[in-house]
Structure 1
Amino acid sequence: MKKPILTALLLLAAAAVFAQSEYNFQRRSLFEKLPVTSKDIVFLGNSITDGGEWNELLANPRVKNRGISGDRSSWMLDRLDPIVGGQPRKLFLLIGTNDLAAGTPAAEVVANVRKIVERFQSESPRTKLYVQSVFPVNDSFKKYAAKHGRHDADIVAVNKGLQALCAEKGIVYIDLWTLLADKNGKLRADLTNDGLHLMGEGYIVWRDAVLPYVK
């Protein structure tokens, strides 16, 4: 019985690694070579963060983008060393939408964010932490509707959990969901062209929301 169980575990591990794209590992390996310092402001997230030209949007050369397309909270936990070790001045975290698309329960996403927060508070206590809400999605755009379009309630649940976590830990929760959602709780159609990612105007809305905390 042990051999089939071991084989199954190895297959699951291999599947988890395979799920992380070549791009994910390319970006991780690059970030390991690029130092973060105590003067830096880090944006940490998935493709939505990855897509932002943050030092230009915020007119601040100390802002560093550590977003990786497709990232999940559990994978992010495995790439924190270069960031935590750099003791950045501020960290803006956004993660969760890919977890939900992969079937990860909302409570597990919040638990992983808790681990990220607690690691920074333990090992980089001077870093000011800002946890951003998971964005709404819009399943009227078909490209990502099958994977991402069925999780509106889960997104709300994650955000409630993140807000409670931030209150517990004494850190800032930034509610971007409200700014980006239409009256039906979907990502505003004027801010996206695929239902998941932002067009330029969406990044301006986001920029304006975080700018007071960056200064």
Structure 2
Amino acid sequence: MKNDWSNLKKYAIQNEALLDSENSKRIVFIGDSITEFWKNYDIELFKTNFVNRGISGQTTKEILHRFTQDVLNLKPKIVVILAGVNDIAENFGAISNQNIFENIVSMIDMAKSSKIEVILCSILPANKFSWKPKITPAEKIIELNKMLKLYSEVNRITYVDYYNTMIDNEKGLNKKYSDDGVHPNNEGYKIMKPLVIEVISKLL
């Protein structure tokens, strides 16, 4: 991991295969475990134009580092960015919302420079992390989502609000949609799918 701290090798072989195939409607989903695990619940979704490039546990710093290889080089029509919860969990150490925000904006800038349409997703609600019990994430997630939404409005970036659809009355992820309070279960992904598919369809 010292030589590959952002896990570039994870999708290297799959990426090589895609480089040899043209697809004018390719959509790359990039993010952490919430993105990666999606394909376990909806195999069909990621069989055609949709490409899953989630890596469990990753922060925006790691995702940004592999953004060229796992997004830009694949020349997608659209990239769907869902990231930030592991930063708030301090998986890579303490980080401010401003720094998380700047990492995500850097991804957006890179995509726009390559003429790739961007779909920016809100962070899902969470009020606790089982692996970091001392952290209370609810308010920080709310604040960061406000920053992302405002940025999307000012810069005309398509925004998908998972947060307000999936929140419970304790500022956490509704138990109907998650078994651990962080990751969506099958019902959670069923809520997320039509929200993102709707905006993808409009962009295409």
Q: Which TM-score tier does this pair reach, normalised by the shorter chain?
A: 0.7 to 0.9
Q: Who is 1:33 aligned against?
A: 16
Q: CA deviation at 1:18?
A: 9.2
Question: Aligned letter for 1:104?
Answer: I
1:91 alignment partner, SS class:
strand
Greater helix share, 1 or 2? Answer: 1
Q: Who is 2:181 aligned against?
A: 195
Q: Who is 2:105 aligned against?
A: 114
Q: Who is 2:197 aligned against?
A: 211
Of all paired residues, the percent bearing the same amino acid is: 25
Equivalence map 1:122-133=2 (5 Å):
122=113, 124-125=114-115, 127-133=116-122
Match of 1:180 among 166, 177, 180: 166
Change (3 A) 1:55 1:64: farther
Q: CA deviation at 1:56?
A: 4.1
Q: Where does the alignment leave 5 or more consecutive residues of structure 1 unmatched?
A: 1-13
Q: Who is 2:145 aligned against?
A: 159
Q: Report Cα offsets for 1:142-166 as digits up to 9, x if no partner.
A: 734516x511111011101111211
Q: Who is 2:52 aligned against?
A: 65
User: Contact between 2:81 and 2:120, CA under 8 Å: does it hold in 1?
Assistant: yes
User: Contact between 1:57 and 1:207, CA under 8 Å: does it hold in 2?
Assistant: no
Distance, in Å, in 1 between the alignment partners of 2:4 and 2:88 is 14
Distance, in Å, in 2 between the alignment partners of 1:57 and 1:181 is 27
Question: Aligned letter for 1:61?
Answer: T
Match of 1:84 among 49, 61, 72: 72
Question: Aligned letter for 1:135?
Answer: L
Question: Aligned letter for 2:66?
Answer: R
Tell me the matched-pair count. 193
Q: Who is 1:137 aligned against?
A: 126
Q: Where does the alignment leave 5 or more consecutive residues of structure 2 unmatched?
A: none
Q: Who is 1:9 aligned against?
A: none
TM-score after normalising by structure 1: 0.80
CA RMSD in angstroms, aligned pairs only: 2.5
2:176 alignment partner, SS class:
helix
Distance, in Å, in 1 between the alignment partners of 2:16 and 2:188 is 30
Change (3 A) 1:63 1:161: same
Question: Aligned letter for 1:128?
Answer: E
Distance, in Å, in 1 between the alignment partners of 2:62 and 2:150 is 23
Q: Name which one, 1 or 2, has greater alpha-carbon Rg.
A: 1
Q: CA deviation at 1:28?
A: 4.2
Distance, in Å, in 1 between the alignment partners of 2:68 and 2:53 is 12
Task: Confirm or deny that 1:169 pairs with 2:155.
Answer: yes
Q: Which runs of 4+ in 1 moved over 6 A?
A: none
Distance, in Å, in 2 between the alignment partners of 1:187 and 1:20 is 30
Distance, in Å, in 2 between the alignment partners of 1:193 and 1:20 is 29
